[in-house]
């Protein structure tokens, strides 16, 4: 893979290994939040693991390489949209069931993967929100250039 | 080996690690030491029967250490080398020791370790599986019984993230439009 | 009892750092230590001896620890990371403005 940012980031060995590990970390994050109502984990842990896979890519390849390939304004939009979705789920609960944010889906059978009503949907929303938000904070903190203003 | 012995060991590691973290002069060592304290806390959660919290604490600690290292240690920010102000430190240590002695009387009133106080948990433990259909009771509490709580939490997190983005923005939007 | 005291001692170590250190990075780390000790204290109170994690198993009955403090602490951990990121961003801007992180030298109030 030839690119013009080849000398940024870490060494060639790290970049080659990263190409194999980043998908595994991403898949682990997906697994954690999909099984959030069955086993330890949930939206928060899954979201941060997904954010960590992006952080892994950024640390290994350098921020210029990543910022060309990842659409950051789409990340902003996804983060804000997931917050709206949370409210929307609450309003659907208000419309179908009785109260705001009440469970409006069937409970399913215990111990099955499709169960627990709206808990997996809320897990997905929280996962997207936490993952995108924390990755964006990391990106801005890492790419901020301190310029000497010369006061004091 | 009973749980208490493990917890004595882990808490000793945490106390020594936090004192070291506050006294070390090098910034990278200081941040790595607080990472060790956080991972010890994750281990303590695992012994106390909270695997959810252990996972979350582990993952968040890693992200916290990466953020702090990228924010400070990569930029060659220097720690301020100062002489210790002796009277100030002595006064602080004396006051904190006084608080510690007073806390003995307060903590004596708590039930001893291993006997929980809260009795509302019985309902969650016996009925949560039937009422919500979720196998993991902690998830069923944060996303079904107390879902307003999570809504507030997401608002706080959103505000914190928005605040740090606003602080770190390079050019204000108005100035860029004027150019 | 001794465990609670050790946990409170950890809180006091963080408080000591927050009130005597002059460096902004050390103050951020001290606030983090205080957060750790509070989280650990809530979970220590919730523990029931011999109990397992609050996850149901098919066809098994066993005693479980109190799940309510765990849900509260899960909230607290997430917010703590957001606050750490916010404090780090503020400290970077202060370093850019004043070229120092020593809180006794940051005296000018006008921007």
Is it the case that residue B94 has pLDDT exceeding 90? yes
Asked if the C-beta of B148 comes within 8 angstroms of chain A's C-beta atoms, the answer is yes
How confident is the model over C26-63, as pLDDT tens digits?
899 999 999 999 999 988 888 888 778 888 887 777 77
User: Which pLDDT score is estimated for A111?
Assistant: 75
Chain B interface disruption, residue of A34, A37, A80, most B CBs within 10 A? A37
User: Which pLDDT score is estimated for B81?
Assistant: 61
User: Which pLDDT score is estimated for B95?
Assistant: 93
Mean pLDDT of the region B83-92: 81
In a domain, residue B99? The reply is no
Nearest alpha-carbon partner for B11 in C82, C7, A70:
C7
CATH topology of domain C2-98: Helix Hairpins (1.10.287)
For residue B142, give both structure tokens: 């944060």
Nearest alpha-carbon partner for C76 in C44, C37, C108, C106:
C37
B residues 114-133 lying closer than 8 A (beta carbon) to C? 114-118, 120-121, 124-125, 128-129
Is it the case that residue A1 has pLDDT exceeding 60? no
d(CA C70, CA B98): 31
How confident is the model over B121-177, as pLDDT tens digits?
778 888 777 777 778 888 888 888 888 888 888 888 888 888 888 888 766 556 556
Indicate the residue among B82, B100, B131 that finishes a domain. B82
Q: Tell me which DSSP letter residue B73 carries.
A: G
Number of domains in chain B: 2
Chain A interface disruption, residue of C52, C72, C76, C78, most A CBs within 10 A? C78
Asked if the C-beta of C62 comes within 8 angstroms of chain B's C-beta atoms, the answer is no
With a CB cutoff of 8 Å and minimum separation 6, the contacts of B122 are none
User: Which pLDDT score is estimated for A152?
Assistant: 43
Asked if C10 and B18 come within 8 Å (Cβ–Cβ), the reply is yes
Q: Provide the number of CB pairs (under 8 Å) joining chain A to chain C.
A: 37
Is it the case that residue A3 has pLDDT exceeding 70? no
Nearest alpha-carbon partner for A82 in A120, A125, A131:
A125
Give the distance from residue A95's alpha carbon to the nearest chain B alpha carbon, in angstroms.
Answer: 17
B57, closest residue in chain A (CA to CA): A45
Domain that holds residue B154: 118-179
d(CA C63, CA C52): 6
How confident is the model over C58-90, as pLDDT tens digits?
777 777 888 888 888 988 888 888 888 899 888
In a domain, residue B147? The reply is yes
In a domain, residue B102? The reply is no
A residues 103-132 lying closer than 8 A (beta carbon) to B? 103, 107-111, 115-119, 122-123, 126, 129-130
How confident is the model over B19-63, as pLDDT tens digits?
999 888 888 889 999 999 999 999 999 988 888 889 999 999 999
Q: Which parts of chain C are beta strand (E)?
A: none
User: Which pLDDT score is estimated for B77?
Assistant: 66
C residues 89-108 lying closer than 8 A (beta carbon) to B? 89-93, 95, 100-102
| Residue in C56, C58, C97 nearest the CB of A149 | C97
User: Which pLDDT score is estimated for C109?
Assistant: 62
Using CB atoms within 10 Å of the CB of residue B123, give its burial: 0 to 12 exposed, 13 to 18 middle, 19+ buried.
exposed
Give the DSSP H or E segment for A82.
helix A72-96
* DSSP line for B83-133: ---HHHHHHHHHHHHHHHHHHHHHHHTSPPTT-----THHHHHHHHHHHH-
d(CA B18, CA A152): 33
CA distances in angstroms from B6 to A14, B1, B10, listed in the order given:
37, 8, 6
Mean pLDDT of the region A135-144: 85
Indicate the residue among B25, B60, B82 that finishes a domain. B82
Task: Specify the length of chain B in residues.
Answer: 179
In a domain, residue B104? The reply is no
Query: Is residue C55 classed as helix, strand or coil in its secondary structure?
Result: strand
Chain A interface disruption, residue of C81, C103, C110, most A CBs within 10 A? C81
How confident is the model over C97-106, as pLDDT tens digits?
777 777 777 7
For residue C59, give both structure tokens: 């066809």
Query: What ipTM was assigned to the predicted interfaces of this complex?
Result: 0.88
With a CB cutoff of 8 Å and minimum separation 6, the contacts of A34 are A46, A113, A120, A123
Residue A123 and residue A42 in contact, taking contact as beta carbons nearer than 8 Å? yes
Q: Name the average pLDDT for chain A.
A: 83
Mean pLDDT of the region B84-103: 88
Neighbours, chain C (3 or more CB pairs < 8 A)? A, B
Q: Measured between beta carbons, which residues in chain B are less than 8 angstroms from residue C28? A: 68
For residue B108, give both structure tokens: 């004596």
């Amino acid at each position: 893979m030839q690119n013009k940012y080849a000398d940024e980031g870490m060494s060639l060995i790290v970049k080659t290994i990263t190409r194999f590990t980043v998908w595994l970390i991403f898949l682990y994050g997906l697994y954690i939040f999909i099984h959030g109502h069955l086993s330890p984990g949930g939206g928060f842990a899954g979201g941060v693991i997904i954010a960590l896979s992006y952080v892994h890519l950024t640390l290994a390849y350098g921020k210029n390489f990543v910022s060309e390939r990842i659409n950051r304004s789409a990340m902003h939009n996804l983060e804000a949209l997931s917050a709206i979705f949370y409210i929307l789920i609450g309003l659907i609960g208000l419309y179908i069931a009785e109260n705001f944010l009440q469970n409006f889906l069937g409970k399913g059978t215990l111990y099955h993967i499709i169960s627990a009503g709206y808990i997996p949907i809320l897990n997905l929303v929280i996962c997207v929100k936490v993952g995108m938000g924390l990755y964006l904070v990391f990106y801005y903190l890492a790419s901020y250039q301190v310029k000497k203003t010369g006061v004091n | 080996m009973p749980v208490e012995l493990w917890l004595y060991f882990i808490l000793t590691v945490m106390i020594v690690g936090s004192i070291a973290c506050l006294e070390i002069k090098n910034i990278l060592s200081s941040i790595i030491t607080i990472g060790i304290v956080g991972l010890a806390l994750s281990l303590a959660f695992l012994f106390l029967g909270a695997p959810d919290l252990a996972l979350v604490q582990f993952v968040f600690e890693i992200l916290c250490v990466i953020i702090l290292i990228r924010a400070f240690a990569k930029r060659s920010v220097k720690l301020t080398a100062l002489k210790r102000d002796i009277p100030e430190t002595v006064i602080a240590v004396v006051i904190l020791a006084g608080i510690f002695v007073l806390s003995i009387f307060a903590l004596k009133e708590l039930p001893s370790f291993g006997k929980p106080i809260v009795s509302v948990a019985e309902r969650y433990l016996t009925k949560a599986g039937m009422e919500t259909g979720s196998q993991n009771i902690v998830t069923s509490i944060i996303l079904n019984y107390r879902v307003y709580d999570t809504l507030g939490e997401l608002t706080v997190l959103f505000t914190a993230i928005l605040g740090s983005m606003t602080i770190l923005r390079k050019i204000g939007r108005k100035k860029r439009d004027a150019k | 009892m001794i465990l609670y005291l050790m946990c409170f001692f950890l809180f006091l170590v963080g408080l000591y750092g927050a009130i005597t250190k002059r460096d902004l990075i050390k103050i951020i780390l001290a606030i983090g230590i205080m957060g750790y000790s509070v989280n650990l204290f809530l979970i220590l109170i919730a523990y029931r001896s011999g109990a397992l994690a609050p996850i149901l198993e098919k066809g098994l009955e066993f005693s479980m620890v109190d799940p309510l403090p765990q849900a509260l602490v899960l909230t607290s951990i997430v917010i703590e990371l957001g606050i750490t990121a916010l404090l780090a961003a503020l400290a970077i801007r202060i370093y850019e403005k004043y070229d120092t992180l020593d809180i006794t030298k940051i005296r000018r109030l006008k921007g």
